[in-house]
Amino acid sequence: MSVIRCRECGGPIYTRIFRRWNSDGTVTGRLSSGVRICHIEAGEVCAMVEGVSARIGYPIDRIVVEGERKASRNITCETLSAGRGLLGIIGRSWGGSPVSLKISLAISRSVGFGAPEVLKYIRGRELKLKVQNPFCVPIVVGDLWGNFEALHRITAEASWEEEPGAVTINMVKVRDEMVEEYPDRLSLQKMATLPGDVGFDRCRRCGIPREVTGSIEWDLDAGVVTSRVTGRREVTVMVEGVNAVISELTGELGDEIPGMVQQVEQEYVAGKMEGSRLPDTTREYGVLLDELRVMGMGNPVEVEKEGERLKVRINNPFCEPLLAGRVGGYYKALEGVTPLVTWTPDEEGYTVIEANPA
């Protein structure tokens, strides 16, 4: 697939056009005000889905699909809203919607979701795709399903069939306008943000932080993004999508879900850090938390270690249970004990996470 890249840093054009790294520890969409996105290991997302499924005793794939579908609808509508002027008018027009679809599928490649190929497309009625290398089938299905519905302002049914290394998705219109089964369960949440003074070493030509282009390898033909540091697959996800999935799971399964997500993330992070224990853990926590800013996960502004108690404040958190799990994973790896982790809800633009020996 031929995609224009920055001649200086090698960043793909869609990364440059659609993302903005901010001084407050967030990454937002350039064409959708306030819509947050973040970078994360693909394994973390898969571990959340598989870990919660294992804990409750049955697959949660369909619930995850629905949460991501709702978020994708919201984000696409936000991007193509009437307030966007020509973008909204042209993007949904008879001639413009196929172009919008082509761009959205190219973006899927650049964010590491996999490589979608159009098998059949009837504007506003049907879309059949085959996605090679999907990073997480429920997330990929929900994202493409919601995008198709929002692009054409329709409600569609979707079915999908998995095979090794690929998934085929078929979406068919069932009615005009987008019908929400539970309209009060999820709406696009504008998250409170606090100012910050985060600085990045940006490419002079395209503005992408060199911390990003220096640590990431994009295989746009395969739709795979890989960390040059760890060698593990990574993806860029919608913050609203992550929180929508957790919200959908909580609505279906109960209030214990955020705690499960925290525990699953804690085990994932600790497992990847096995053998990382260092004597100066206070300094090491700060170093580990620094990466949150360029990933768009938030701005860690306080790290305190008093005896066995660790306290972290993160401004503009992307997802409290996942961040609490990350801090807990750091604690388990560096201290060598399983912690009890608590966190405060993000109601005013920050969360405080505490970890103590269980």
Query: Would you state the pLDDT for residue 254?
Result: 94
Give the residue-averaged pLDDT of 88-92. 58
Q: How many CA atoms lie within 13 A of 28 on its CB side?
A: 17
Phi-psi region of 153 (alpha: psi -120 to 50; beta: other; left: phi over 0): left
Q: Is residue 96 part of a domain?
A: no
Whether residue 8 contacts residue 206, with contact meaning beta carbons closer than 8 Å, is answered with yes
Q: Is residue 343 part of a domain?
A: yes
Distance separating alpha carbons of residues 218 and 4, to the nearest angstrom = 12
Query: Would you state the pLDDT for residue 9?
Result: 87
Domain span at residue 289 reads 255-357
Confidence class for position 276, pLDDT limits 50, 70, 90: low
User: Is 238 exposed, middle or buried, given 0-12, 13-18 or 19+ CB atoms closer than 10 A?
Assistant: buried
Whether pLDDT at 86 is above 50: no
* Count, residues in the chain: 358
Query: Would you state the pLDDT for residue 95?
Result: 66
Give the residue-averaged pLDDT of 124-148. 97
Distance separating alpha carbons of residues 114 and 121, to the nearest angstrom = 19
Calculate the average pLDDT of the chain. Answer: 89
Distance separating alpha carbons of residues 74 and 32, to the nearest angstrom = 11
Q: Is residue 44 part of a domain?
A: no
Give the residue-averaged pLDDT of 31-37. 74
Whether pLDDT at 186 is above 50: no
Confidence class for position 241, pLDDT limits 50, 70, 90: confident
Instruction: Domain count for the chain, please give it.
Output: 1
Coil/strand/helix, residue 352: strand
Q: What amino acid occupies position 32? A: S
Whether pLDDT at 3 is above 60: no
Residue holding tokens 């049907």? Answer: 126
Q: Is residue 266 part of a domain?
A: yes
Distance separating alpha carbons of residues 209 and 290, to the nearest angstrom = 14
Query: Would you state the pLDDT for residue 169?
Result: 98
Q: Is residue 221 part of a domain?
A: no
User: Is 163 exposed, middle or buried, given 0-12, 13-18 or 19+ CB atoms closer than 10 A?
Assistant: exposed
Higher pLDDT, 11 or 138: 138
Confidence class for position 189, pLDDT limits 50, 70, 90: low
274: number of Cβ within 10 Å: 9
Distance separating alpha carbons of residues 65 and 179, to the nearest angstrom = 16
Q: Is residue 112 part of a domain?
A: no
Phi–psi pair at 299, nearest 5 degrees = -120, 100
CATH of residue 327: 3.30.1380.20
Query: Would you state the pLDDT for residue 93?
Result: 67
Q: Is residue 120 part of a domain?
A: no
The residues near 35 (Cβ < 8 Å, ≥ 6 apart) are 28, 29, 75, 78, 79, 188, 238, 240
Closest CA to 6 of 19, 99, 230: 19
Whether residue 186 contacts residue 248, with contact meaning beta carbons closer than 8 Å, is answered with yes
Tokens of 252: 């279906």
Give the residue-averaged pLDDT of 125-133. 98
Whether pLDDT at 92 is above 70: no
Which range of 33-42, 73-82, 203-212, 307-316 scores highest in mean pLDDT? It is: 307-316
Closest CA to 166 of 123, 143, 132: 132
Query: Would you state the pLDDT for residue 31?
Result: 65
Query: Which residue blocks in 120-218 are alpha helix, DSSP H?
Result: 137-152, 210-213
Whether pLDDT at 163 is above 50: yes
Q: pLDDT tens digits for 218-234?
A: 999 999 999 999 999 99
Q: Is residue 341 part of a domain?
A: yes
Q: What is the pTM of this model?
A: 0.91
Distance separating alpha carbons of residues 72 and 151, to the nearest angstrom = 10
Query: Would you state the pLDDT for residue 33?
Result: 60
| Percentage of the chain modeled with pLDDT above 90 | 66
Whether pLDDT at 170 is above 50: yes
Tokens of 216: 């990431």
Confidence class for position 89, pLDDT limits 50, 70, 90: low
